[in-house]
Amino acid sequence: MPVLAAMLRERGLRRLLVVMPHAAASLPDALKRGLANLDEHAVAALGFEHLVFVRSAQMPGGAASSAHPLQRLADWVLAQMRLMIPQRDKPVRPAKVAQFVAQLAVRLPSATPGTRVVPPELVWEAAQRQDVDALVQEWLRGVEAEASTPQPARM
C-alpha cells in the first residue's frame, strides 16, 4: 500500500480514500479510530492534503472445509459465534459502503485538511440512514453521530 500511495502522490494526487476491510474484534477500539499499522503510518507520512482510511467490517472468512468429522463439528460450533457479533460490527453491503465513500469524496475538498479514520461503526450507521450526506457533513465537522437503534437480527 505505501508504494502505490507514494506513486500516486508523486503524480500529484492530493486526496486519497482507502477502504480497508476490518475483521470484527481484531482491533481495539482505539485503533479502530486511529492508524492501525506501519503501512497506514507510512501512507500518512506522504503528506496528502486529505487522507481517509475507511474501515468497513468484513465477513468472517470461510476456511476450507475439513474431511474430519470432529473438525467440521468444531467449525460449525465456531460459526455460531457469528450470531453473537454486535449489530454495529456486522458487515455492510458493498453498495452502501460505496454510497458512503462517494458522499465522503464529494464533501472532502471543503473539509479541513488532514488524516482521518472512519470507524466501522460509522460505516454501519451510514448504511442505516436515508440521508448519508448529513452524516458525512457532521462527521467531517467532528460531530459525533447519534446511533440508530439497531434492529434485532432475524433468524
Average model confidence (pLDDT) for the chain? Answer: 80
What is the residue range of 42's domain? 9-59+66-141
Beta bridge partners of 118: 54
State the total domains in the chain. 1
At residue 65, the pLDDT reads 62
- Would you state the cell numbers that stand for residue 75, as one nine-digit string? 467449525
Residue of 124, 126, 155, 154 lying closest to 140 (CA atoms)? 126
The pLDDT score that the predictor gives to residue 92 is 79
With respect to residue 3, please indicate whether it lies within any of the assigned structural domains.
no
Q: What is the CA radius of gyration of the chain?
A: 18
Alpha helices in 1-62 (DSSP H): 2-10, 29-32, 38-44
Instruction: With respect to residue 35, please indicate whether it lies within any of the assigned structural domains.
Output: yes
Domain membership of residue 4 (yes or no) is no
Would 86 be classed as within a structural domain?
yes
Please determine, for residue 100, whether its predicted confidence score (pLDDT) is greater than 70: yes
Residue 54: inside a domain: yes
Residue 150 lies in a domain: no
Q: How far is CA 5 from CA 8, 11, 29, 38, 125, in A?
A: 5, 10, 26, 13, 28
Is 61's pLDDT higher than 60?
A: no
Mean pLDDT, residues 129-147 taken together: 82
Residues 132 and 126 sit within 8 Å (Cβ to Cβ): yes
Identity of the amino acid at 23? A
Asked, for residue 2, whether it belongs to a domain, the answer is no
Band of pLDDT at residue 154, cut at 50, 70 and 90: very low
Judge whether 149 lies within some domain.
no
